[in-house]
Amino acid sequence: MHFTSEQRLDDDVLEREFTLGEIPGILWTPASASAPVPLILLGHPPLGLRKMYPRLVGRAQHSAAEGFATATIELPGSGDRPRWAAVEQARADLRQAMEAGEPVSDEIVDALILPLVEKAVPEWQAALDALLALPEIGGPVGYSGGVISIGIRLAVVEPRIAAAGLFAGSFVPRAMFEEARQVTIPLHVLLQWDDEGNDRQAALDLFDAFGSKEKSLHANMGGHTGVPQFAGDAAAQFFTRHLK
Amino acid sequence: MHFTSEQRLDDDVLEREFTLGEIPGILWTPASASAPVPLILLGHPPLGLRKMYPRLVGRAQHSAAEGFATATIELPGSGDRPRWAAVEQARADLRQAMEAGEPVSDEIVDALILPLVEKAVPEWQAALDALLALPEIGGPVGYSGGVISIGIRLAVVEPRIAAAGLFAGSFVPRAMFEEARQVTIPLHVLLQWDDEGNDRQAALDLFDAFGSKEKSLHANMGGHTGVPQFAGDAAAQFFTRHLK
Protein backbone atom coordinates (compact mmCIF):
# COMPACT_ATOMS: atom_id res chain seq x y z
CA MET A 1 0.00 0.00 0.00
CA HIS A 2 1.50 3.27 -1.17
CA PHE A 3 0.10 6.65 -0.27
CA THR A 4 0.15 8.88 -3.33
CA SER A 5 -1.39 12.07 -1.98
CA GLU A 6 -2.50 13.56 1.28
CA GLN A 7 -4.73 16.49 2.16
CA ARG A 8 -6.42 17.83 5.22
CA LEU A 9 -10.14 18.41 4.67
CA ASP A 10 -11.85 21.36 6.35
CA ASP A 11 -13.28 19.49 9.23
CA ASP A 12 -10.33 17.76 10.72
CA VAL A 13 -10.28 14.78 8.40
CA LEU A 14 -7.13 13.48 6.77
CA GLU A 15 -7.73 12.20 3.22
CA ARG A 16 -5.06 10.02 1.68
CA GLU A 17 -5.14 8.47 -1.76
CA PHE A 18 -3.28 5.21 -2.09
CA THR A 19 -2.58 2.39 -4.47
CA LEU A 20 -2.66 -1.24 -3.55
CA GLY A 21 -0.81 -2.88 -6.40
CA GLU A 22 -2.72 -1.46 -9.35
CA ILE A 23 -5.85 -0.67 -7.40
CA PRO A 24 -6.45 2.96 -6.42
CA GLY A 25 -8.15 3.73 -3.14
CA ILE A 26 -8.84 6.46 -0.62
CA LEU A 27 -8.47 6.45 3.16
CA TRP A 28 -10.08 9.01 5.44
CA THR A 29 -9.10 9.22 9.11
CA PRO A 30 -10.13 11.59 11.89
CA ALA A 31 -7.05 13.79 12.14
CA SER A 32 -7.39 14.30 15.87
CA ALA A 33 -7.69 10.66 16.96
CA SER A 34 -5.14 9.70 19.62
CA ALA A 35 -5.81 5.94 19.61
CA PRO A 36 -6.44 3.42 16.82
CA VAL A 37 -9.97 3.87 15.44
CA PRO A 38 -12.49 1.38 14.05
CA LEU A 39 -12.81 1.16 10.27
CA ILE A 40 -15.73 1.23 7.87
CA LEU A 41 -15.17 0.00 4.33
CA LEU A 42 -17.23 2.19 2.01
CA GLY A 43 -18.76 0.26 -0.86
CA HIS A 44 -20.04 1.99 -3.99
CA PRO A 45 -21.59 1.11 -7.36
CA PRO A 46 -19.21 0.35 -10.25
CA LEU A 47 -19.30 3.87 -11.66
CA GLY A 48 -15.74 4.85 -10.81
CA LEU A 49 -14.34 6.40 -7.65
CA ARG A 50 -14.00 9.81 -9.28
CA LYS A 51 -17.71 9.94 -10.08
CA MET A 52 -18.66 8.59 -6.66
CA TYR A 53 -16.25 10.89 -4.78
CA PRO A 54 -18.76 13.55 -3.67
CA ARG A 55 -21.07 11.01 -2.05
CA LEU A 56 -18.20 9.01 -0.56
CA VAL A 57 -16.43 12.00 0.97
CA GLY A 58 -19.72 13.07 2.57
CA ARG A 59 -20.08 9.69 4.23
CA ALA A 60 -16.40 9.72 5.20
CA GLN A 61 -16.68 13.10 6.90
CA HIS A 62 -19.80 12.04 8.76
CA SER A 63 -18.05 8.86 9.91
CA ALA A 64 -14.88 10.69 10.92
CA ALA A 65 -16.93 12.96 13.15
CA GLU A 66 -18.16 9.79 14.88
CA GLY A 67 -14.59 8.58 15.32
CA PHE A 68 -14.35 6.11 12.42
CA ALA A 69 -11.77 5.71 9.70
CA THR A 70 -13.27 4.94 6.31
CA ALA A 71 -11.67 3.53 3.19
CA THR A 72 -12.67 2.53 -0.28
CA ILE A 73 -11.02 1.02 -3.35
CA GLU A 74 -11.84 1.15 -7.04
CA LEU A 75 -13.87 -1.79 -8.33
CA PRO A 76 -12.43 -3.99 -11.09
CA GLY A 77 -13.29 -2.64 -14.54
CA SER A 78 -14.29 0.79 -13.20
CA GLY A 79 -12.73 4.24 -13.09
CA ASP A 80 -9.07 4.28 -14.12
CA ARG A 81 -8.74 0.51 -13.93
CA PRO A 82 -8.50 -1.49 -17.18
CA ARG A 83 -11.80 -2.19 -18.96
CA TRP A 84 -13.10 -5.68 -18.43
CA ALA A 85 -14.58 -7.18 -21.57
CA ALA A 86 -16.92 -9.71 -19.93
CA VAL A 87 -18.50 -7.18 -17.63
CA GLU A 88 -18.67 -4.53 -20.38
CA GLN A 89 -20.64 -7.02 -22.45
CA ALA A 90 -23.01 -7.74 -19.56
CA ARG A 91 -23.55 -4.01 -19.06
CA ALA A 92 -24.33 -3.58 -22.75
CA ASP A 93 -26.81 -6.47 -22.57
CA LEU A 94 -28.38 -4.90 -19.50
CA ARG A 95 -28.74 -1.49 -21.16
CA GLN A 96 -30.24 -3.09 -24.23
CA ALA A 97 -32.80 -5.06 -22.21
CA MET A 98 -33.76 -1.99 -20.18
CA GLU A 99 -34.05 0.29 -23.20
CA ALA A 100 -36.23 -2.32 -24.91
CA GLY A 101 -38.39 -2.47 -21.76
CA GLU A 102 -37.66 -6.19 -21.45
CA PRO A 103 -37.20 -7.97 -18.13
CA VAL A 104 -33.57 -8.36 -17.16
CA SER A 105 -32.81 -12.07 -17.38
CA ASP A 106 -31.08 -14.10 -14.67
CA GLU A 107 -28.27 -14.70 -17.18
CA ILE A 108 -27.58 -10.99 -17.57
CA VAL A 109 -27.68 -10.43 -13.81
CA ASP A 110 -25.33 -13.36 -13.18
CA ALA A 111 -22.91 -12.17 -15.89
CA LEU A 112 -23.00 -8.63 -14.51
CA ILE A 113 -22.57 -9.39 -10.82
CA LEU A 114 -20.96 -12.78 -10.17
CA PRO A 115 -17.57 -12.07 -11.83
CA LEU A 116 -17.49 -8.70 -10.05
CA VAL A 117 -18.05 -10.39 -6.68
CA GLU A 118 -15.44 -13.06 -7.43
CA LYS A 119 -12.81 -10.51 -8.33
CA ALA A 120 -13.67 -7.63 -5.97
CA VAL A 121 -14.02 -9.51 -2.68
CA PRO A 122 -10.40 -10.72 -2.47
CA GLU A 123 -9.30 -7.18 -3.36
CA TRP A 124 -11.31 -5.72 -0.48
CA GLN A 125 -9.79 -8.38 1.79
CA ALA A 126 -6.29 -7.42 0.64
CA ALA A 127 -7.14 -3.77 1.30
CA LEU A 128 -8.32 -4.78 4.76
CA ASP A 129 -4.97 -6.50 5.43
CA ALA A 130 -3.11 -3.34 4.45
CA LEU A 131 -5.42 -0.95 6.30
CA LEU A 132 -5.37 -2.92 9.56
CA ALA A 133 -1.59 -2.90 9.45
CA LEU A 134 -1.62 0.91 9.82
CA PRO A 135 -1.04 1.98 13.42
CA GLU A 136 -3.88 4.54 13.32
CA ILE A 137 -6.48 1.91 12.44
CA GLY A 138 -7.71 -0.67 14.89
CA GLY A 139 -10.90 -2.61 14.67
CA PRO A 140 -13.60 -3.69 14.55
CA VAL A 141 -14.47 -3.35 10.88
CA GLY A 142 -17.78 -2.61 9.21
CA TYR A 143 -18.79 -2.72 5.57
CA SER A 144 -21.23 -0.18 4.18
CA GLY A 145 -23.21 0.23 0.98
CA GLY A 146 -22.24 -0.40 -2.61
CA VAL A 147 -23.01 -3.51 -4.64
CA ILE A 148 -25.04 -5.57 -2.17
CA SER A 149 -23.73 -8.90 -3.49
CA ILE A 150 -20.18 -7.82 -2.64
CA GLY A 151 -21.38 -6.97 0.87
CA ILE A 152 -23.05 -10.34 1.22
CA ARG A 153 -19.98 -12.28 0.10
CA LEU A 154 -17.68 -10.23 2.33
CA ALA A 155 -19.98 -10.80 5.30
CA VAL A 156 -19.81 -14.55 4.68
CA VAL A 157 -16.09 -15.01 3.97
CA GLU A 158 -14.39 -12.26 5.95
CA PRO A 159 -14.53 -12.83 9.72
CA ARG A 160 -12.97 -9.44 10.47
CA ILE A 161 -16.16 -7.72 9.30
CA ALA A 162 -18.32 -7.36 12.39
CA ALA A 163 -21.36 -5.53 11.01
CA ALA A 164 -22.67 -4.45 7.63
CA GLY A 165 -24.93 -1.70 6.38
CA LEU A 166 -26.36 -2.77 3.04
CA PHE A 167 -28.33 -0.91 0.39
CA ALA A 168 -31.03 -3.13 -1.09
CA GLY A 169 -30.33 -2.56 -4.76
CA SER A 170 -31.39 -4.48 -7.80
CA PHE A 171 -29.69 -7.15 -9.79
CA VAL A 172 -28.99 -9.71 -7.11
CA PRO A 173 -28.10 -13.11 -8.60
CA ARG A 174 -30.25 -15.95 -7.31
CA ALA A 175 -27.14 -17.63 -5.91
CA MET A 176 -26.68 -14.68 -3.56
CA PHE A 177 -30.02 -15.38 -1.88
CA GLU A 178 -28.62 -18.72 -0.76
CA GLU A 179 -25.41 -17.05 0.34
CA ALA A 180 -27.44 -14.51 2.33
CA ARG A 181 -28.67 -17.34 4.58
CA GLN A 182 -25.06 -17.83 5.72
CA VAL A 183 -24.69 -14.24 6.90
CA THR A 184 -24.80 -14.05 10.70
CA ILE A 185 -23.37 -10.61 11.53
CA PRO A 186 -25.68 -7.72 12.49
CA LEU A 187 -27.15 -6.04 9.42
CA HIS A 188 -28.73 -2.68 8.74
CA VAL A 189 -30.50 -2.74 5.37
CA LEU A 190 -31.69 0.39 3.58
CA LEU A 191 -34.47 0.14 1.02
CA GLN A 192 -35.72 3.02 -1.10
CA TRP A 193 -39.40 2.15 -1.43
CA ASP A 194 -39.84 3.77 -4.85
CA ASP A 195 -36.46 2.86 -6.31
CA GLU A 196 -37.18 2.77 -10.05
CA GLY A 197 -34.52 0.24 -10.89
CA ASN A 198 -35.25 -1.98 -7.94
CA ASP A 199 -37.56 -4.95 -7.47
CA ARG A 200 -39.09 -4.22 -4.07
CA GLN A 201 -40.34 -7.75 -3.52
CA ALA A 202 -36.89 -9.18 -4.30
CA ALA A 203 -35.38 -6.76 -1.78
CA LEU A 204 -37.86 -7.90 0.89
CA ASP A 205 -37.16 -11.54 0.06
CA LEU A 206 -33.43 -10.91 0.35
CA PHE A 207 -33.90 -9.23 3.73
CA ASP A 208 -35.93 -12.22 4.86
CA ALA A 209 -33.21 -14.60 3.66
CA PHE A 210 -30.38 -13.15 5.75
CA GLY A 211 -29.43 -15.52 8.55
CA SER A 212 -28.52 -12.76 11.00
CA LYS A 213 -30.33 -12.70 14.33
CA GLU A 214 -30.06 -8.93 14.37
CA LYS A 215 -31.14 -7.39 11.13
CA SER A 216 -33.13 -4.22 10.55
CA LEU A 217 -34.80 -3.01 7.39
CA HIS A 218 -35.20 0.74 7.04
CA ALA A 219 -37.48 1.57 4.13
CA ASN A 220 -37.89 5.19 3.13
CA MET A 221 -39.71 7.03 0.39
CA GLY A 222 -37.96 8.19 -2.70
CA GLY A 223 -35.83 6.89 -5.53
CA HIS A 224 -32.41 5.28 -5.60
CA THR A 225 -30.39 8.37 -4.77
CA GLY A 226 -33.02 9.94 -2.51
CA VAL A 227 -31.97 8.39 0.80
CA PRO A 228 -33.05 10.96 3.40
CA GLN A 229 -30.49 12.49 5.75
CA PHE A 230 -32.13 10.88 8.79
CA ALA A 231 -31.69 7.43 7.20
CA GLY A 232 -27.97 8.11 6.89
CA ASP A 233 -27.92 9.14 10.54
CA ALA A 234 -29.64 5.90 11.54
CA ALA A 235 -27.07 3.87 9.60
CA ALA A 236 -24.29 5.77 11.38
CA GLN A 237 -25.87 4.94 14.74
CA PHE A 238 -25.95 1.27 13.74
CA PHE A 239 -22.19 1.30 13.21
CA THR A 240 -21.62 3.19 16.44
CA ARG A 241 -23.62 0.51 18.29
CA HIS A 242 -21.65 -2.32 16.79
CA LEU A 243 -18.13 -1.04 16.21
CA LYS A 244 -17.50 1.03 19.33
CA MET B 1 -60.42 16.89 33.17
CA HIS B 2 -59.84 16.17 36.83
CA PHE B 3 -56.52 15.15 38.26
CA THR B 4 -57.03 12.35 40.78
CA SER B 5 -53.47 11.63 41.87
CA GLU B 6 -49.99 13.00 41.43
CA GLN B 7 -46.55 11.55 42.03
CA ARG B 8 -43.00 12.43 41.16
CA LEU B 9 -41.16 9.57 39.48
CA ASP B 10 -37.46 9.04 40.17
CA ASP B 11 -36.16 10.77 37.14
CA ASP B 12 -37.77 14.12 37.28
CA VAL B 13 -41.08 13.15 35.70
CA LEU B 14 -44.43 14.22 37.10
CA GLU B 15 -47.10 11.51 36.72
CA ARG B 16 -50.71 12.55 37.13
CA GLU B 17 -53.73 10.32 36.83
CA PHE B 18 -56.86 12.02 35.62
CA THR B 19 -60.43 11.37 34.57
CA LEU B 20 -62.06 12.90 31.56
CA GLY B 21 -65.74 12.31 32.23
CA GLU B 22 -65.74 8.58 32.93
CA ILE B 23 -62.50 7.90 31.09
CA PRO B 24 -59.36 7.37 33.16
CA GLY B 25 -56.05 8.57 31.85
CA ILE B 26 -52.46 9.35 32.78
CA LEU B 27 -50.34 12.40 31.99
CA TRP B 28 -46.56 12.47 32.33
CA THR B 29 -44.66 15.76 32.09
CA PRO B 30 -40.97 16.62 32.47
CA ALA B 31 -40.96 18.19 35.94
CA SER B 32 -38.18 20.61 35.10
CA ALA B 33 -39.64 22.11 31.91
CA SER B 34 -39.84 25.90 32.04
CA ALA B 35 -41.85 26.39 28.82
CA PRO B 36 -44.81 24.53 27.31
CA VAL B 37 -43.67 21.22 25.87
CA PRO B 38 -44.82 19.21 22.85
CA LEU B 39 -47.14 16.26 23.50
CA ILE B 40 -47.12 12.63 22.42
CA LEU B 41 -50.33 10.63 22.78
CA LEU B 42 -49.38 7.11 23.79
CA GLY B 43 -51.59 4.49 22.19
CA HIS B 44 -51.81 0.93 23.54
CA PRO B 45 -53.65 -2.31 22.83
CA PRO B 46 -57.07 -2.79 24.46
CA LEU B 47 -55.70 -4.75 27.43
CA GLY B 48 -56.32 -2.15 30.10
CA LEU B 49 -54.11 0.70 31.27
CA ARG B 50 -53.16 -1.12 34.45
CA LYS B 51 -51.77 -4.05 32.52
CA MET B 52 -50.03 -1.79 30.01
CA TYR B 53 -48.64 0.56 32.69
CA PRO B 54 -45.08 -0.82 32.86
CA ARG B 55 -44.52 -0.44 29.12
CA LEU B 56 -46.26 2.95 28.98
CA VAL B 57 -44.32 4.46 31.87
CA GLY B 58 -41.08 3.34 30.27
CA ARG B 59 -41.98 5.16 27.06
CA ALA B 60 -43.18 8.17 29.06
CA GLN B 61 -39.90 8.45 30.97
CA HIS B 62 -37.88 8.14 27.78
CA SER B 63 -40.01 10.85 26.16
CA ALA B 64 -39.82 13.13 29.19
CA ALA B 65 -36.03 12.96 29.04
CA GLU B 66 -36.33 14.26 25.46
CA GLY B 67 -38.57 17.09 26.62
CA PHE B 68 -41.97 15.69 25.69
CA ALA B 69 -45.16 15.37 27.67
CA THR B 70 -46.99 12.11 27.10
CA ALA B 71 -50.55 11.13 27.86
CA THR B 72 -52.81 8.16 27.44
CA ILE B 73 -56.44 7.27 28.12
CA GLU B 74 -58.22 3.99 28.71
CA LEU B 75 -59.83 2.48 25.63
CA PRO B 76 -63.59 1.86 25.58
CA GLY B 77 -64.46 -1.57 27.00
CA SER B 78 -61.02 -2.02 28.59
CA GLY B 79 -59.58 -1.80 32.10
CA ASP B 80 -61.97 -0.29 34.61
CA ARG B 81 -64.37 0.96 31.96
CA PRO B 82 -67.71 -0.83 31.48
CA ARG B 83 -67.63 -4.03 29.44
CA TRP B 84 -68.84 -3.61 25.88
CA ALA B 85 -70.94 -6.51 24.71
CA ALA B 86 -70.37 -6.15 20.95
CA VAL B 87 -66.61 -6.05 21.26
CA GLU B 88 -66.55 -8.82 23.88
CA GLN B 89 -68.42 -11.00 21.39
CA ALA B 90 -65.94 -10.16 18.61
CA ARG B 91 -63.05 -11.02 20.95
CA ALA B 92 -64.66 -14.35 21.80
CA ASP B 93 -65.13 -15.07 18.09
CA LEU B 94 -61.50 -14.14 17.46
CA ARG B 95 -60.23 -16.42 20.24
CA GLN B 96 -62.37 -19.26 18.96
CA ALA B 97 -61.10 -18.89 15.38
CA MET B 98 -57.47 -18.71 16.52
CA GLU B 99 -57.77 -21.68 18.87
CA ALA B 100 -59.38 -23.68 16.07
CA GLY B 101 -56.50 -22.66 13.80
CA GLU B 102 -58.95 -21.07 11.38
CA PRO B 103 -58.24 -17.89 9.43
CA VAL B 104 -59.65 -14.80 11.11
CA SER B 105 -62.45 -13.58 8.84
CA ASP B 106 -62.91 -10.00 7.67
CA GLU B 107 -66.20 -9.97 9.60
CA ILE B 108 -64.47 -10.73 12.89
CA VAL B 109 -61.77 -8.12 12.24
CA ASP B 110 -64.35 -5.49 11.32
CA ALA B 111 -66.46 -6.27 14.40
CA LEU B 112 -63.38 -6.15 16.61
CA ILE B 113 -61.80 -2.96 15.33
CA LEU B 114 -64.28 -0.66 13.60
CA PRO B 115 -66.52 0.05 16.63
CA LEU B 116 -63.39 0.61 18.72
CA VAL B 117 -62.10 3.17 16.22
CA GLU B 118 -65.50 4.90 16.00
CA LYS B 119 -65.75 5.25 19.75
CA ALA B 120 -62.12 5.77 20.76
CA VAL B 121 -61.07 8.44 18.25
CA PRO B 122 -63.48 11.17 19.49
CA GLU B 123 -62.38 10.34 23.04
CA TRP B 124 -58.71 10.87 22.14
CA GLN B 125 -59.71 14.14 20.48
CA ALA B 126 -61.56 15.24 23.64
CA ALA B 127 -58.47 14.31 25.66
CA LEU B 128 -56.40 16.41 23.27
CA ASP B 129 -58.69 19.40 23.83
CA ALA B 130 -58.25 19.07 27.59
CA LEU B 131 -54.50 18.42 27.48
CA LEU B 132 -53.73 21.34 25.16
CA ALA B 133 -55.66 23.62 27.52
CA LEU B 134 -53.05 22.95 30.24
CA PRO B 135 -50.46 25.74 30.42
CA GLU B 136 -47.54 23.29 30.65
CA ILE B 137 -48.44 21.63 27.34
CA GLY B 138 -47.92 23.31 23.98
CA GLY B 139 -47.69 21.59 20.69
CA PRO B 140 -47.13 20.12 18.25
CA VAL B 141 -48.74 16.76 18.96
CA GLY B 142 -47.68 13.27 17.95
CA TYR B 143 -49.49 9.96 18.23
CA SER B 144 -47.56 6.81 19.01
CA GLY B 145 -48.32 3.10 18.95
CA GLY B 146 -51.36 1.18 20.05
CA VAL B 147 -54.15 -0.05 17.79
CA ILE B 148 -52.92 1.02 14.36
CA SER B 149 -56.43 1.65 13.02
CA ILE B 150 -56.99 4.25 15.76
CA GLY B 151 -53.73 5.90 14.74
CA ILE B 152 -54.78 5.93 11.09
CA ARG B 153 -58.17 7.48 11.81
CA LEU B 154 -56.67 10.07 14.15
CA ALA B 155 -54.07 10.99 11.53
CA VAL B 156 -56.86 11.53 9.00
CA VAL B 157 -59.40 13.44 11.10
CA GLU B 158 -57.31 15.31 13.66
CA PRO B 159 -55.28 18.15 12.13
CA ARG B 160 -53.50 18.86 15.42
CA ILE B 161 -51.57 15.60 15.08
CA ALA B 162 -48.40 16.46 13.21
CA ALA B 163 -46.63 13.10 13.10
CA ALA B 164 -47.38 9.50 14.02
CA GLY B 165 -45.35 6.51 15.05
CA LEU B 166 -47.36 3.39 14.26
CA PHE B 167 -46.85 -0.26 15.17
CA ALA B 168 -47.80 -2.50 12.26
CA GLY B 169 -50.06 -4.94 14.07
CA SER B 170 -52.57 -7.39 12.82
CA PHE B 171 -56.29 -7.17 12.41
CA VAL B 172 -56.57 -4.13 10.19
CA PRO B 173 -60.03 -3.87 8.58
CA ARG B 174 -59.95 -3.55 4.81
CA ALA B 175 -61.67 -0.18 5.06
CA MET B 176 -58.62 1.17 6.92
CA PHE B 177 -56.37 0.49 3.91
CA GLU B 178 -58.45 3.01 1.97
CA GLU B 179 -58.31 5.42 4.87
CA ALA B 180 -54.53 5.01 5.00
CA ARG B 181 -54.30 6.63 1.55
CA GLN B 182 -55.69 9.83 3.07
CA VAL B 183 -52.92 10.07 5.67
CA THR B 184 -50.43 12.79 4.72
CA ILE B 185 -48.47 13.46 7.94
CA PRO B 186 -44.96 12.05 8.44
CA LEU B 187 -45.09 8.43 9.61
CA HIS B 188 -42.64 6.14 11.36
CA VAL B 189 -43.88 2.54 11.13
CA LEU B 190 -42.45 -0.29 13.22
CA LEU B 191 -42.80 -3.87 12.02
CA GLN B 192 -41.69 -6.91 13.96
CA TRP B 193 -40.63 -9.24 11.17
CA ASP B 194 -41.48 -12.45 13.01
CA ASP B 195 -44.61 -11.23 14.79
CA GLU B 196 -46.59 -14.46 15.29
CA GLY B 197 -50.00 -12.83 15.25
CA ASN B 198 -49.21 -10.53 12.35
CA ASP B 199 -49.63 -10.90 8.62
CA ARG B 200 -46.34 -9.48 7.31
CA GLN B 201 -47.59 -8.97 3.78
CA ALA B 202 -50.65 -7.09 5.03
CA ALA B 203 -48.35 -4.86 7.08
CA LEU B 204 -46.19 -4.12 4.01
CA ASP B 205 -49.31 -3.42 1.93
CA LEU B 206 -50.57 -1.04 4.59
CA PHE B 207 -47.23 0.77 4.66
CA ASP B 208 -47.39 1.06 0.89
CA ALA B 209 -50.95 2.45 1.09
CA PHE B 210 -50.15 5.41 3.34
CA GLY B 211 -50.38 8.66 1.39
CA SER B 212 -47.61 10.39 3.34
CA LYS B 213 -44.65 11.72 1.40
CA GLU B 214 -42.41 11.01 4.38
CA LYS B 215 -42.92 7.54 5.73
CA SER B 216 -40.32 5.11 7.04
CA LEU B 217 -40.70 1.44 7.77
CA HIS B 218 -38.38 0.00 10.42
CA ALA B 219 -38.53 -3.77 10.42
CA ASN B 220 -36.68 -5.66 13.13
CA MET B 221 -36.32 -9.26 14.12
CA GLY B 222 -38.37 -10.76 16.88
CA GLY B 223 -41.95 -11.22 17.97
CA HIS B 224 -44.66 -8.76 18.87
CA THR B 225 -43.22 -7.66 22.20
CA GLY B 226 -39.58 -7.99 21.16
CA VAL B 227 -39.04 -4.48 19.76
CA PRO B 228 -35.32 -3.84 20.32
CA GLN B 229 -34.18 -0.86 22.39
CA PHE B 230 -32.53 0.77 19.38
CA ALA B 231 -35.86 0.70 17.51
CA GLY B 232 -37.45 2.62 20.37
CA ASP B 233 -34.60 5.11 20.19
CA ALA B 234 -35.16 5.58 16.45
CA ALA B 235 -38.87 6.23 17.03
CA ALA B 236 -37.97 8.82 19.66
CA GLN B 237 -35.65 10.52 17.17
CA PHE B 238 -38.49 10.62 14.66
CA PHE B 239 -40.65 12.57 17.11
CA THR B 240 -37.77 14.86 18.00
CA ARG B 241 -37.31 15.63 14.30
CA HIS B 242 -40.97 16.45 13.77
CA LEU B 243 -42.23 17.90 17.03
CA LYS B 244 -39.34 20.09 18.11
Tell me the pLDDT tens digit for each residue of A35-84.
999 999 999 999 999 999 999 999 999 999 999 999 999 999 999 999 99
Min distance B12 CA to chain A CA atoms (Å) = 27
Measured CA to CA, the distance from residue B69 to residue A7 in angstroms comes to: 48
Q: Report the pLDDT value the prediction gives residue A157, as an integer from 0 to 100.
A: 98
Q: Write the single-letter amino acid at A1.
A: M
Q: Does the distance separating the beta carbons of B241 and A230 come in below 8 Å?
A: yes
Q: Does the distance separating the beta carbons of B204 and A193 come in below 8 Å?
A: no
Nearest chain B residue to A242 by CA: give it. Answer: B230
Contact criterion met (CB below 8 Å) for B86 and B111: yes
What pLDDT digit, counting tens, does each position of B134-163 carry? 999 998 999 998 999 999 999 999 999 999
pLDDT band at A226 (very low <50, low <70, confident <90, very high): confident
What's the count of helices (H) and strands (E) in chain A, helices before strands?
Answer: 7, 9
Average pLDDT, chain A: 93
pLDDT band at A232 (very low <50, low <70, confident <90, very high): confident
Q: Report the pLDDT value the prediction gives residue A117, as an integer from 0 to 100.
A: 97
If residue A178 lies in a helix (H) or strand (E), which one and from where to where?
helix A174-180
**Which one of B204, B215, B234 has the shortest CB-CB distance to A204?**
B204
Q: Report the pLDDT value the prediction gives residue A60, as an integer from 0 to 100.
A: 94
Describe the crossing of helices A148-157 and A106-132 by its angle, rounded to 10 degrees: 50
Q: Report the pLDDT value the prediction gives residue B222, as an integer from 0 to 100.
A: 85
Q: Which residues of A72-105 are buried (b: 16+ CB within 10 A; e: fewer)?
A: bbbbbbbbebeebeebeebbebbeeeeeeeeebe
The answer to whether B217 contacts chain A (CB < 8 Å) is yes
Min distance A18 CA to chain B CA atoms (Å) = 37
Q: Report the pLDDT value the prediction gives residue A2, as an integer from 0 to 100.
A: 97
Q: Report the pLDDT value the prediction gives residue B32, as an integer from 0 to 100.
A: 86
**Fold category of B2-82+115-243 in CATH:** Rossmann fold (3.40.50)
Measured CA to CA, the distance from residue B205 to residue B200 in angstroms comes to: 9
- Which sign, positive or negative, has the C-alpha torsion A130, A131, A134, A139? negative
Give me the mean pLDDT over the A125-149 stretch.
Answer: 96
What pLDDT digit, counting tens, does each position of A195-225 carry? 877 789 999 999 999 999 999 999 999 887 8
Measured CA to CA, the distance from residue A194 to residue A60 in angstroms comes to: 26
Average pLDDT, 10 consecutive residues per value, chain B (244 residues): 93 93 97 92 94 93 94 96 91 91 91 96 98 95 95 98 92 95 97 85 95 96 85 91 94
ipTM: 0.79
Q: Which residues of A188-222 are buried (b: 16+ CB within 10 A; e: fewer)?
A: bbbbbbebeebbbebbbebbbbbebebbbbbbbbe
CATH superfamily of A2-79+118-243: Alpha/Beta hydrolase fold, catalytic domain (3.40.50.1820)
The answer to whether B214 contacts chain A (CB < 8 Å) is yes
Residues ≥6 apart with Cβ < 8 Å to B31: B8, B12, B13, B14
